[in-house]
Structure 1
């Protein structure tokens, strides 16, 4: 009975983990994975920074090589003599400025069609020029709108006396609406030939009563544009024009002494 029997060996039982040990093992694995990911992120950020620095260095090197080449070419052209670079922009600017007339903040203007000179304030802040007028009356002539008016002058205004009460008639070029604190008003615009030193232009004037202001004429930027520059530190850069019945231009400085030159509101 003993000789024919062989015993089959039994395998050892597999080890088992308790729930607490299992949780502890899982926690250790999570810590290792998180630590490995952190190291990977740090390494990736470091690689990106290194790549950016290398790119900046390459760009700086290219720029330096270009600058070095420019310097070498300039030295070859210059030799031992200093290079003079022409100021082309300044020359162009000088030519532009020289084509324009310089005017002061106040000037004498002439109205050949009216036959008088008047003091004018130059104001680039105003769009359209303005002429002091009173008794403005609208009427129609040949189907067109016209106005009849007198120069709005004070006793102190220097003018050819014969035109003080003279009626002036002109066609209405257009009308402009002026916005003010008390509301809006519509003013007629007329064209008059005007002189200022060597300037002789047909200028559009709005008509309104300026007798409460110091100057019967205001010159705006529509007149100044492309033909004049303003030197705000100067007054009366151009001589006063002469008209029959008026005072000679040589007496203009005496009339300018009492120029109050106050700011207008």
Structure 2
């Protein structure tokens, strides 16, 4: 038997084995995606379009809401500005009205405001000294710093380690006073001393405090003691007394009633004592 006739019988099983084993040696192939039908594809497109449309609608509504809020804020701001403009117009109109007010009227109004809670005094007034028990005429002088009381026969002495002074009222025959105190001694503690420089030289004067009344005013006033018998008024009231409580109307005199004291004349009889000062005013 020839070799050619023997091969098929031997090779057939080998070839079969190789073919079977070769199948297992080939690499694995990737799984193929499932086949999508046209209906499923269209459904997916519709879902995407719906999602995009919904998102666009949401963003558009949010934008509209934001614009509406901004519009409301701007409207509120415009209303507030309009209100402020109306208020400013009203104030300007009021100022224009004030500008039309005559200057004299405005000055009178301002003067009245400054006079509130202040007493108006004439250039001459009656005062009372309750501690002494008498009334006296007083000249009101804003140019003088301190007040002054006419005194004579001053005697300085010490009491309980403090400086005191004893004196009499310095009066002349024409001065109105309660007669019983005209020659009485008056004692008071010395608050301080002031130095007065005059053409004749320097003078040191004691300062005392006395309770004084003038119309509705009732104040403790510091007086320097010096002889004023050569003057028309035994009392001078300066600006330390006037400050914050009174103003002077120099065109007037005796705006306030004379106080009454035991032994003195009634207040209604003060006119005769004021006559000389009123005659002086008439001559002026």
> Per the shorter chain, which TM-score range?
0.5 to 0.7
| Shift in alpha-carbon separation, 1:154–1:74, aligned structure 2, 3 A | same
Give secondary structure in 2 for the equivalent of 1:108: strand
Matched residues in 2 for 1:162 and 1:221: separation? 31
| Shift in alpha-carbon separation, 1:79–1:150, aligned structure 2, 3 A | closer
Higher Rg: 2
Q: Which residue of 1 aligns with 2:125?
A: 107
The alpha carbon displacement at 1:81 in A equals 10
Q: Tell me which of 109, 127, 139 is aligned to 2:145.
A: 127
Matched residues in 2 for 1:186 and 1:141: separation? 20
In the alignment, structure 1 residue 172 sits paired with structure 2 residue 190:
yes
8 Å contact from structure 1 (residues 100, 228) kept in 2: yes
In the alignment, structure 1 residue 151 sits paired with structure 2 residue 169:
yes
Q: Tell me which of 118, 121, 141 is aligned to 2:136.
A: 118
Structure with a larger share of its residues in helix: 2
| Shift in alpha-carbon separation, 1:83–1:111, aligned structure 2, 3 A | same
CA RMSD of the aligned region, Å?
3.0
Q: Tell me which of 219, 230, 238 is aligned to 1:220.
A: 238
The alpha carbon displacement at 1:184 in A equals 0.8
The alpha carbon displacement at 1:97 in A equals 1.1
Matched residues in 2 for 1:102 and 1:124: separation? 13
Matched residues in 1 for 2:180 and 2:257: separation? 21
8 Å contact from structure 1 (residues 133, 209) kept in 2: yes
Q: Which residue of 2 aligns with 1:17?
A: none
Number of paired residues?
191
Give secondary structure in 2 for the equivalent of 1:251: helix
The alpha carbon displacement at 1:96 in A equals 3.2
Question: After superposition, what is the alpha-carbon deviation per residue over 1:146-195, rounded to whole angstroms, capped at 9, x for unaligned?
Answer: 00000000011000000001110000000000010011100000000000
Give secondary structure in 1 for the equivalent of 2:269: helix
Matched residues in 1 for 2:265 and 2:191: separation? 32
* TM-score computed with the length of structure 1 as normaliser: 0.66
Equivalent residues in 2 for 1:5-84, closer than 5 Å: 77=90, 84=97
In the alignment, structure 1 residue 183 sits paired with structure 2 residue 198:
no
Matched residues in 1 for 2:94 and 2:142: separation? 48
8 Å contact from structure 1 (residues 214, 261) kept in 2: no
Unmatched tracts of structure 2, length 5 or more: 1-84
Q: Tell me which of 242, 259, 272 is aligned to 1:254.
A: 272
Q: Tell me which of 109, 112, 124 is aligned to 1:94.
A: 112
Q: Which residue of 2 aligns with 1:204?
A: 222
